[in-house]
């Protein structure tokens, strides 16, 4: 069974198209019009091994908020759709990820119950031209629309680029582990409740 999905989202603020293959090799084609955000999404794809095609046309003449949030919404919906009933997955994962002086923990539960804990502080308002507050907006939208409980905790770091990158890479690696098929749970919903969709 192929775990793929395509989602399109069109509003007065953005036009987003996302295609994912959860069983890919981390290939990506990403164009949001926001250089640093593209760079972070490329890390998310490469280190999760989820193939991602993301095209976004947003109201960047205002700012990057709507585009960042709507990409998170659409990517989350695509992941949820591709996961289906979530049978046979490992479900849980956590990882501590280092990049130079920065260390970030990501822990997640592919539970069907969306939640975000975001304990990440930046020393500046921007990384390049990108507002650092928008990282939380993206991950909140991603967690909510994929049905994932997600905790991201930056334990320390000095360089804001490194802090942001460890967040994306840590989430990617945890997501990769959690959505991988568990050979001991083939076809079985990893829950005593019998469902992972709410």
Identify the helix (H) or strand (E) that includes residue 160. helix 160-179
Alpha helices in 84-159 (DSSP H): 133-146
Helix axes of 35-48 and 65-83: crossing angle, nearest 10 degrees: 20
How is 71-97 classified by DSSP, letter by letter? HHHHHHHHHHHHHTT-TTB--EEEEEE
pTM for the structure as a whole: 0.94
Residue boundaries of the structural domains of the chain: 4-185
Residue 120's φ and ψ, nearest 5 degrees, are: -135, 125
Beta-carbon contacts of residue 193 (< 8 Å; ≥ 6 apart): none
Asked if 24 and 48 count as a contact pair (C-beta separation under 8 A), the reply is no
> What is the spatial distance between Cα 88 and Cα 90, in angstroms, rounded to a whole number?
7
The CATH number that domain 4-185 falls under is: 3.30.230.40
pLDDT per position in the chain (198 positions), as tens? 689 999 999 999 999 999 999 999 999 999 999 999 999 999 999 999 999 999 999 999 999 999 999 999 999 999 999 999 888 899 999 999 999 999 999 999 998 899 999 999 999 999 989 999 999 999 999 999 999 999 999 999 999 999 999 999 999 999 999 999 988 777 756 554 556 566
């Amino acid at each position: 069974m192929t775990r793929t999905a395509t989602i399109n989202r069109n509003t007065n603020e953005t036009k987003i198209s996302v295609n994912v293959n959860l069983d890919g090799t981390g290939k990506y084609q990403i164009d949001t019009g926001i250089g640093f955000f593209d760079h972070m999404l490329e890390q998310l794809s490469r280190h999760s091994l989820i193939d991602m095609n993301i095209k976004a046309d947003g109201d960047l003449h205002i700012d990057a908020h709507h585009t960042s949030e709507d990409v998170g919404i659409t990517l989350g919906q695509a992941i949820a759709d591709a996961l289906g009933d979530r049978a046979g997955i490992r479900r849980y994962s956590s990882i501590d990820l280092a990049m130079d002086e920065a260390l970030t923990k990501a822990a997640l539960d592919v539970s069907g119950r969306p939640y975000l804990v975001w304990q990440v502080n930046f020393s500046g308002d921007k990384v390049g031209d990108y507002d650092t507050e928008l990282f939380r907006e993206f991950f909140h939208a991603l967690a909510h629309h994929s049905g994932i409980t997600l905790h991201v905790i930056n334990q320390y770091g000095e360089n804001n680029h490194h802090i942001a990158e460890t967040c994306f890479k840590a989430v990617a690696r945890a997501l990769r582990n959690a959505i991988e098929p568990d050979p001991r749970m083939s076809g079985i919903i990893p829950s005593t409740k019998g469902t992972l969709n709410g």
